[in-house]
Amino acid sequence: MKYRRIFADGYSYYLTMVTHRRKPLLIEHIDILRDAFRHSKKRYIYKIDAIVILPDHIHMILTPDISTDYPKIISSIKRYFVHHLDEEIKAKAKTELSASQYDRNSSGIWQERYYEHTIRNEKDFIEKIKYMQSNPVKHNLVDTMDQWKYSSFY
């Protein structure tokens, strides 16, 4: 069965993007990641309702003006981030690819897929927010959420 994404204008989407093999690149290169978001905001109209960035993954709730734009937004962020990393990092990542990933021209920086969940109601929204708030604590990065500065909750 093929996975089908839901595209419904006016809805928000809970999204998770993970680095390839969970490489801890995101906090280390937070300025590039922030620039990647700024770059995507120039091309697409969307609101980030909540976000938490961990060393190897991002959780966010995003509300695009046009629902079919959210895959393009994710792609834009990922591409910009990869393009602006040091060549040495990109070269090392390429050496860790499987043959099929190499054949598909994977960057070796991001997992090719991302998780998406359409927020259906306020209860769903609150559940995702609570999960995001607890994530840095769950991963033993901080003792309390208010200590984690790479989020919209800081």
Instruction: Kindly list the catalytic residues.
Output: 150
The answer to whether 70 touches 13, Cβ cutoff 8 Å, is yes
Q: What ranges make up the beta strands (E) of the chain? A: 13-18, 46-53, 57-64, 115-118
Rounded CA separation 61/16 (Å): 9
User: What is each CA distance from 58 to 2, 107, 111, 130, 132, in whole angstroms?
Assistant: 25, 18, 12, 15, 9
Asked if 142 and 151 touch (Cβ cutoff 8 Å), the reply is no
Structural element, H or E, at residue 128 = helix 122-138
